[in-house]
Amino acid sequence: MIKAIASTTRLPGGAQNFMLAPWVVAWRLPIMAAEIQQETAWSGETMRAASEKVAAAFEGALAAQLSLFGSTLTFWPQVLAGRSPSAVTQVAFKHATEAAIRPASRRVKANFRRLSRRSP
């Protein structure tokens, strides 16, 4: 059933993987609650949850910047070839947005796969 939910919805740029986030949270919270009762609270799943969000944010920001940089290099050639500047800018921001969410999307999908194997 869960696999059917993830595969039937098509959103642009990997955004469909964010629909799996509630499942990841539901599977992760009991693990984190068990970890918090131990002396080393910042270990295992808790540390992984915090560190992967920071890493995904930095990777997404860098990917968006690189996408926009690439778009600036092709802006004038496309405008001089007859494309509308607003259309070129719109496509550039769409690509930058998709590049920005891709790292977080991959992590949500990987966590869903990993945690779904652990659940009873």
Q: Per the domain annotation, does 49 fall within a domain?
A: no
Q: Per the domain annotation, does 47 fall within a domain?
A: no
**In this predicted structure, what is the pLDDT of residue 38?**
82
| Cα–Cα distance, 36 to 11 (Å, whole number) | 36
Each of the 120 residues of the chain gets a pLDDT tens digit; together they read 455 555 555 666 677 888 889 999 999 999 888 888 887 767 788 889 989 999 999 999 999 999 999 999 999 999 999 999 999 999 999 999 999 999 999 999 999 999 988 755
**In this predicted structure, what is the pLDDT of residue 119?**
58
Q: Per the domain annotation, does 111 fall within a domain?
A: yes
Structural domain span for residue 77: 2-6+14-40+54-118
What φ, ψ does residue 85 adopt, rounded to 5°? Answer: -60, -35
Q: Per the domain annotation, does 48 fall within a domain?
A: no
- Contact between 102 and 60 under an 8 Å Cβ cutoff? The reply is yes
Which 8-state DSSP code applies to residue 79? H
The overall pTM is greater than 0.85: no
Q: Per the domain annotation, does 45 fall within a domain?
A: no
What is the tally of structural domains in the chain? 1
| Cα–Cα distance, 108 to 53 (Å, whole number) | 10
CA dihedral 60, 62, 65, 66 (to 10 degrees): -110
